[in-house]
Structure 1
Amino acid sequence: MAEERSGEDIVSEYLGQNPHLAQWVESFRGYCETNKQWFARREFVLRNMEAFPTIEPGMPGSSLDGLLSLSMVWANNVFLGCRYSDAVMVKIKEMGEGIVVDDAPVRTTRDEILAKGKRGASSGADGESCAKKAKAGPGGGRAPCQKQGPSPQAPAQHQPFFNRLYKAVAWKLVSAGGFGPNLDHYEILQSCVESCKQNLGCVFVPLKDIPDLPASRAQKEGQVCELRCSTVYMGTGYGRDEAAARAMASKEALKAFQGRKVTVKICRRRYNGTDVEDVMLLDDQPRSQGFPPALSYPFQADSGEDGAS
């Protein structure tokens, strides 16, 4: 696998390919900003420009003022420890996901100190409670925390990670010259997932063993690959062998990242001939057809069926 490049390297290459932006964005640098502070804030501005479609390089406007203000708020929080309202903190953290700042200052708030003390005082009781639950085991029926279908909170829990992954994929594709048929789609997707500290899971099933294939797929030779990350379905691909199927699944998964955003949702799809709820990664484009059948199901089915992991 190629050596992972830093965000600063990718930004420099991007500006080298777009010299009309380089001088324009450089004009936003503050007089007292160090290189580290400016390079990080510059990346913040460039990463989030697409979220402000009315911004035109070289032209002033309220959208540009808003983005620059948010970039300063984000930098003040990262480098100076400034705190803002909860809504603003959530906003800038989401916009700054995926930006790596080496040796950023780490500060502990009073609330965090108090919360840590409370957790330490209750850890003994919590540990005893968890041990009792574990001892109950299969003899007492299903464990209390065993899943029966995805949790209703699953989309909200997974969305922040896939927002980070969206930005990682976008910058990876920029450095690769854009989305196209000649890319190693699996390598790009896998490296981006790993850069976000997660793993990409692949499930393979022989084509002839799939009961719910689309009517247009008549051949029965080959493999089907399904990609998941953190239980979230990302894409399905067909191919003559596992490598080809995985490549096609990765290409389909990357297509979701071509829109303006990705969204984690719970959707209905077929698994082993039964309709189930699954957690899926979707783009912002309307769909005219159903989803491919699921090859794996990382949740305990309501009916008691065992899902593949």
Structure 2
Amino acid sequence: MQANGGVGDQDKYRFTRVFGPGTPQESLYEETALPMVKGLFDGQNGLIFAYGPTNSGKTFTIQGDKGEKAGILPRSLSTVFNEVDERNANSQEDWTVWVTFMEIYNENVYDLLDVPPDKTKNEPRKVCKLKEHNGQVHIKGLRELQVRNLEEAKQVLRYGARHRQVAETMMNDVSSRSHSVFNIKLVPNRGSETDPTEPSQVYSKLAIVDLAGSERALKTKATGERLKEASNINVSLMNLGRCLEALRWNQINPNRVAHVVPFRHSKLTRIFQDHFLNASKMVMIVAANPNPSDFDEARQALTYGAIAKEI
């Protein structure tokens, strides 16, 4: 990547794989997410991020479109139910699948599966509160739905996606103004005892995250509510980067006083503290817009992505 300093001044980054703009969605899924989805059935938790500047293709990577253009999330659901159906039919295993779908918007957590407020009555959206119990963060008021087949799961996904906060900016006609998080939990079916809110009953879990894109107000010409949204997005992404840096520093300096990892500085990192600290597998898909005007944003995304690879 050519840096601003001129000829010979370059930043070099090392990643597991580099995918070109013509990469089919199926190939991207098989190389990045499929092993983690399969790992759910071996008790392995996982976290998948799509990270990068605004208008770099993150939502298309996660959500995609119909048919061959389906993204990582619908393909993950398809794999989960294919595995569940096969294992339930051919063995003594009996699994149930539970999902949640939320967004972090202006540093508040909202349930995307909740009934939307009545705008004619000026009803506010219900904010979900974060609670900590036995060292784990729980989201009070977040619905956990059991989905019995792929079609039910896709209906839930479509319903939640319709309620996500999006808006038009100078950089993107349909810009995501929030971080969205879709959680898949695999729970052994124990009849009436099955409780997806009880951590001891959850066999494994996978979080698939479409991060809102970093952006500069100078380029987006954002004002008012759009400017507030952008500020909150940038702050939470910056804190994610700081958490990655602190985790990496602690890892390569085991004999020195550990740096404090600032998980509590944003809702995003606090929610995923458990994934970072308890041996979840993590994949960060870094989307980089090749437009020269987006150099600074792309450079920052690549830097944090390279740090994440080393954790």
**Alignment TM class, shorter chain as reference:** under 0.3
TM-score normalised by length of structure 1: 0.24
Structure with the largest fraction of strand: 2
Structure with the largest fraction of helix: 1
Larger Rg: 1
TM-score normalised by length of structure 2: 0.24
Higher relative contact order (CA 8 A, sep 6+): 2
